Amino acid sequence: MYKRLLDNLNTAVLLFDSDLKLCYLNTAAEILLADSARQLLKISAEQLFKLSDAAFVSNLKHCRDAGESLIDYALELNRVGNQSVFVNVSLTPLEKNEIIVELLPIDNRLRISQEEQLHAQQNAACLMVRGLAHEIKNPLGGLRGAAQLLDSELSNAELKEYTQVIMEEADRLQGLVNRMLGSNELPNKQQLNIHEILERVRLLVQSEANENITIRCDYDPSIPEFLGDKNQLIQAVLNIVRNAVQAISDSGNVILKTRICRHATIERQHYKLALRCEIIDDGIGIAPDMLNKIFYPMVTGRVEGTGLGLSIAQTLISQHQGVIECHSEKGRTVFAIILPIIFQHNSI
């Protein structure tokens, strides 16, 4: 009866005897340790966890000898033949020098703090770029105005060519600065269907791309409408899908995939419903050293790139309380946009 109860717990529970040999583990513990009870029973604590977990073993001894309960936060456990896992460990002494051990994995928490750090860095970089863009914008307006005046005073066509060059280049820079500053418009949120946005982007990009590139869709029709700014979301998805197409040299596939997620935590906020929209391509992939930089403004791997596409997409998605994740290996790159589904009456 107790065994059934323990096996239905989500918490991993282990029982060590007075010789620090494992004498019981529940199903959650088997899953966490990625091994079966048959393999693990009777092995010693030292064997079960490799040397880097000396702290764990000495805590076990302390708990047994002093008869005191202990909680160990963020301990790294190397599972036998497997990657490590971060856990909070609670040790409780029982009669006969036995010890009950509860392991609570904390991957999630670590991931959240890493995300936060990345976010802070990105914010700092964005602020710098915006500051710089503002500084450029004003003198640029002056330069262009002066060139235009000069142009109207000149009668010599050859000299006019020079003023034309100044104006054209000033306009090009102006365009770049505007893109760096992003849109000033406030989001105009309305009820949206994610697939309407994806279909718009698909048509747009398909018409630009060569015919050997196929853009396919794999949609989850159960995703409900949510509150969002249509133009901003089209822009964000467009930037990512364009990159995917550019990563394919001759021929290849881009897949637009959507799925619903229940009970998602995004940036520490819990939502009952969220959607996951993946843009998957089989292009060249992203080099590992580029991977953690690509969301910064002005970082580009392409000769004609501006490095603004992803940083703009990131800003727009975070204005919708969402995040963008990226995984890449040769031949398969996935950008995932995760957006909370927020309804009109803000029922989170």
Q: Does 247 bind ligand ADP (CB under 6 A)?
A: yes
Among 228, 309, 322, 340, binds ligand ADP (CB under 6 A): 309
Closest CA to 126 of 179, 188, 189: 179
Closest CA to 220 of 260, 265, 176: 260
Q: Does 228 bind Mg ion (CB under 5 A)?
A: no
Q: Which does 294 bind (CB under 5 to 8 A by kind): Mg ion, ligand ADP, none?
A: ligand ADP
* Residues 298 and 306: beta-carbon distance below 8 Å: yes
Q: Which does 302 bind (CB under 5 to 8 A by kind): Mg ion, ligand ADP, none?
A: ligand ADP
According to DSSP, the residues that pair with 25 across neighbouring strands are 14
Which CA distances in Å does 202 have to 209, 293, 340?
A: 10, 26, 22
Q: Does 243 bind Mg ion (CB under 5 A)?
A: yes
Would you say 228 or 297 has its CB closer to Mg ion?
A: 297
Closest CA to 310 of 270, 279, 268: 279
Q: Does 321 bind ligand ADP (CB under 6 A)?
A: no
Least CB distance to ligand ADP at residue 185 (A)? 21
Determine if residue 234 is left, alpha or beta; phi over 0 gives left, psi from -120 to 50 gives alpha, anything else beta. Answer: alpha
Would you say 122 or 306 has its CB closer to ligand ADP?
A: 306
Q: Does 314 bind ligand ADP (CB under 6 A)?
A: no
Q: Does 300 bind ligand ADP (CB under 6 A)?
A: yes
Residue at token pair 């501006």: 306
Binding mask 140-179 for Mg ion (x = CB under 5 A): ----------------------------------------
Would you say 59 or 314 has its CB closer to ligand ADP?
A: 314
Torsion sign, CA atoms 299, 305, 306, 312: negative
Torsion sign, CA atoms 297, 298, 299, 300: positive
Q: Which stretches of the chain bind ligand ADP, using CB under 6 A?
A: 239, 243-244, 247, 281, 283-286, 294, 299-302, 305-311, 333
